[in-house]
A and B are shown apart, each in its own frame.
Chain A
Amino acid sequence: MAPIEFTVNGRRQSVDVAPDTPLLWVLRDNLGLTGTKFGCGIAQCGSCTVHIDGAPTRSCVIGISTVAGKRVTTIEGLSRDRSHPVQRAWIAEDVPQCGYCQSGQIMAAVALLETTPNPTDADIDAAMTNICRCGTYQRIRTAIHRAAEGV
């Protein structure tokens, strides 16, 4: 097995694992980036959402070999100090409950706002398909609107 190289949060990484290992587990177990969460393993819940070359992606079903040469951003790479507008909006609305889904929710929201800076409720419904078992959807919606308005 040749090592697989890619970029995570601006840093070059090289890992030597089975090529079908999902990106999620490389991030969590090999690179120690545990902010990205495991919820289902079958692209159903969105807890594992990261950006690959800017696109929101459920990392639990992305084999690491397909990530070679790509640019991955995780929750840890969003800002150094929780200053990303989406993080600030999340804090202002006190969105998280247990918090487990929130890395994925935030990464999904960031991607939505990058393509749709002023999303309607229908846009939010369509883009935000991640599960929150604590039911924070109402606050997520409010926080996305708040981030869109400049927090």
Chain B
Amino acid sequence: MTAHVDVTRREFLQVASAAGATLVIGFTLPGCATPGAPAGPPLEPNAWLKIGTDESILVIVDRSEMGQGIATALPMLLAEELEADWSKIRIEFAPADPVYNHRLFGMQATGGSASIRAAWMPLRQAGAAAREVLIDAAAQTWEVDRAACRAENGAVIHSGGRRLTYGHLVATARTLPVPTEPPLKEPKDWKILGTRVPRLDTPPKVDGTAQFGIDVTVPGMLVAVVARCPVFGGKVASFDAAKAEAVPGVRHVVQISSGIAVVADGYWPAKTGRDALAVTWDEGPTAGISSASIGRLFAQRAARAGAVARNDGNADRALSGAASRLDAAYEAPFLAHATMEPMNCTAHVRPDGVDIWAPTQFQGAAHQVGAGIGGVPPEQVKVHTTYLGGGFGRRFELDFIQEALETSKAVGAPVKVVWSREDDTRHEFYRPASYHRLRAGLDGTGRPAAWTHRVVAPSIMARIFPDTVQNGLDGEAVEGAVEMPYGVPNVHVDYVLTDTGIPVGFWRSVNHSFNAFVVESFIDELAHAAGQDPYEYRRGLLGNAPRYRRVLELAATQAGWGSPLPAGVFRGIAVHKSFEAYVAQVAEVSVGSEGAVRVHRVVCAVDCGPVVNPDTVEAQMQSGIVYGLTAALYGEIGIDRGRVVQGNFHDYPMLRMAEMPRVEVHIVPSTDSQGGVGEPGTPPIAPAVCNAIFAATGKRIRKLPIGQVT
């Protein structure tokens, strides 16, 4: 692959030498370089900015771009305070370095819809500090009072009319101290924040030049495809490499901790060799489990009390005194992330150092794994982050990185490990399956007097951050259930941690994805039992939850709640808070005579506090809705004899164009606390659609996926 057409030779060499390979992430808009610009090193006021004497502004993006738009949003934060000329902005992904640790997580990672919340202050301060030092440089150059100078559109301007662009101030600014507490602009003065700035990564994504992990090529690189035990936790008992080695192009067959790697000149010979390999597996204890056995385990475990996550009043007493009672069990399946780009990683383990080129959400840990497997000090490990062809939490894991490192070490060459779609679907860290037991009691007027919710599910945190699980309580497993926002005097929420042997991981919106389905479906059941309109019923119970109520009202109003619909079309509504953002959705749904569910329109209201880029917020709501709707309609990973049943898109289907509803997004103007947007669009869609199905058919969907409604 040749370098991008617009990347100048100098930039290319810079990036290439930094990356040690032809990894070109950034791009330049034509006509950026100023002829006759002063030469010299750039101004680097902090870890995120390099201002060149040629006016270029290089922003070091320290979060992974996986579609969520962060590679545009972070530069917007900097550029606003820097008073930069937006057309001069270029981006480069950050190396692994503690300076880039996430302010909320304390590690270099991307997730939790938290990138903007973490960067909101530090990146604006970084831009402001650079602006101030450039103003200082201009005042010094002109020998004028700095109060008479201001920054605007990539230049400092003196009230007397003199003007110097940033590139001309770099040399002087480099000699001056960078202020540590620069003033920030008033929101009323923002020119970039809150506007629809086009994404910086769109141009390379329409001409094939954006480099994803799977596109990485380094000199001498081989490609590996790995045979892994089909049963979780199984191991290689023995293998015969002869047939694989006989495939032309296959160079090595090596055992690594996850299985057998077939290493070849390209993907096709490696895959052909892998498929020809004869491996005997020691399948281990998980070989006995199935979806049915897991379902039985969950139902049994639901009979016992769990770790208490919330306890208001006395729910048991209130239940026994209630005028009417509801009991229900809800279930949600394991789900695969199915990122469009299958898992892959390129690594080069050498005695003197390690390079990792990865579409990763977790540079900090990749760095450590590289040092561990490479047997070198961390300073000798370089992590090069590519574009990610989707992440959704899957690329927070390290399995694919470890495979590339081990294989490269074993064969003594740079190796790109590439997973087939089947590998990707069957060797996952799945969204946990879950089982829920709900009880509610209503008083004579239909208002809820008691609400209990028992969550039975595996714990992601128990695997990844076990210290956070205390006395059987994983606070994340009950996220969205604990914060049940409705005004109910007696509430009890508990959690029964239930491991199943199936690996679980963070899947877009994590445990909110099922807890929202359950809470927002069950409140709909209550509304029906009370004989009340499901929107008005919710609204009446959200008196102490104004941000929930505001998005609920906005979605209902924009959807025309209560107004007539075409024959056969029905509405459902849901509201949920996740990652500090409040989202309500109204779905318009019809159910065909064969039970086929069709979603025609989704009206979405979101309150995520101050907005960086409304175009991105809309895109992320649309994206989250498609992700959640795909899961609600079709998503199910089944287990048989300890193996995943599904393998590819024919049996793990995705929503496509013809099924895409019209999505309308309404953003609440808000100066309240900030929330994320990458995930919060996902949780409400399943219950909104299921509640519409109930309105259409009278059938309550208590088990996902929806499939055919019969």
Residues of A that sit less than 8 Å from B by CB: 17-18, 21-22, 25, 28-30, 32-42, 44-45, 47, 74-76, 78-82, 87, 90-91, 94-103, 106, 124-126, 128-141
Partner of A133, one of B68, B69, B268, B339: B339
- Residues of B with C-beta under 8 A to A97: 67-69, 619, 623
Residues A135 and B625 in contact in the complex (CB < 8 Å), given A99-B210, A99-B389: yes
Verify B389–A98 contact, CB threshold 8 A. Answer: yes
- Residues of B with C-beta under 8 A to A39: 340-342, 421
Partner of B649, one of A33, A106, A131, A140: A131
Verify A138–B212 contact, CB threshold 8 A. Answer: no
Residues A125 and B658 in contact in the complex (CB < 8 Å), given A47-B340, A76-B208, A135-B627: yes
* Contact residues of B between 163 and 207, Cβ < 8 Å to A: 198-199, 201-207
* Contact residues of B between 378 and 432, Cβ < 8 Å to A: 387-391, 418, 420-421
CB nearest neighbor in A for B341: A100
Verify B208–A36 contact, CB threshold 8 A. Answer: yes
CB nearest neighbor in A for B624: A135
Verify A100–B390 contact, CB threshold 8 A. Answer: yes
Verify B202–A91 contact, CB threshold 8 A. Answer: yes
Determine whether B515 belongs to the interface, using a CB cutoff of 8 Å to chain A. no
Verify B657–A135 contact, CB threshold 8 A. Answer: no
CB nearest neighbor in A for B619: A97
Verify B267–A38 contact, CB threshold 8 A. Answer: yes
B interface SS class: loop
Nearest 9 Cβ contacts at the A-B interface: A35-B208, A135-B626, A100-B389, A99-B205, A98-B67, A97-B67, A29-B266, A75-B208, A34-B215
Partner of B207, one of A35, A41, A137, A141: A35
Chain B proximity of A66: nearest CB distance (Å): 15
Residues of B that sit less than 8 Å from A by CB: 1-2, 5, 65-69, 198-199, 201-212, 214-215, 217, 223, 248-249, 265-269, 272, 338-342, 387-391, 418, 420-421, 615, 619, 622-627, 648-650, 654-658, 660, 662-663
Verify A29–B268 contact, CB threshold 8 A. Answer: yes
Partner of B663, one of A81, A130, A138: A138
A interface SS class: loop
- Residues of B with C-beta under 8 A to A81: 5
Partner of A99, one of B387, B391, B619, B649: B387
CB nearest neighbor in B for A47: B340
CB nearest neighbor in B for A103: B208
- Residues of B with C-beta under 8 A to A106: 206
Chain A proximity of B651: nearest CB distance (Å): 10
- Residues of A with C-beta under 8 A to B5: 80-81
Chain A proximity of B22: nearest CB distance (Å): 10
- Residues of A with C-beta under 8 A to B212: 37, 99-100
Residues A96 and B215 in contact in the complex (CB < 8 Å), given A18-B269, A125-B657: no
Verify A29–B338 contact, CB threshold 8 A. Answer: no
Residues A139 and B339 in contact in the complex (CB < 8 Å), given A34-B215, A35-B207, A96-B205: no
CA distance A52 to B214 in the complex (A): 24
- Residues of B with C-beta under 8 A to A125: 657-658
Verify B619–A102 contact, CB threshold 8 A. Answer: no
Chain B proximity of A104: nearest CB distance (Å): 10
Chain B proximity of A29: nearest CB distance (Å): 4
Chain B proximity of A28: nearest CB distance (Å): 7
CA distance A94 to B625 in the complex (A): 18
Which of A37, A74, A128 has the most B CB atoms < 10 Å from its CB? A37
Verify B206–A90 contact, CB threshold 8 A. Answer: yes
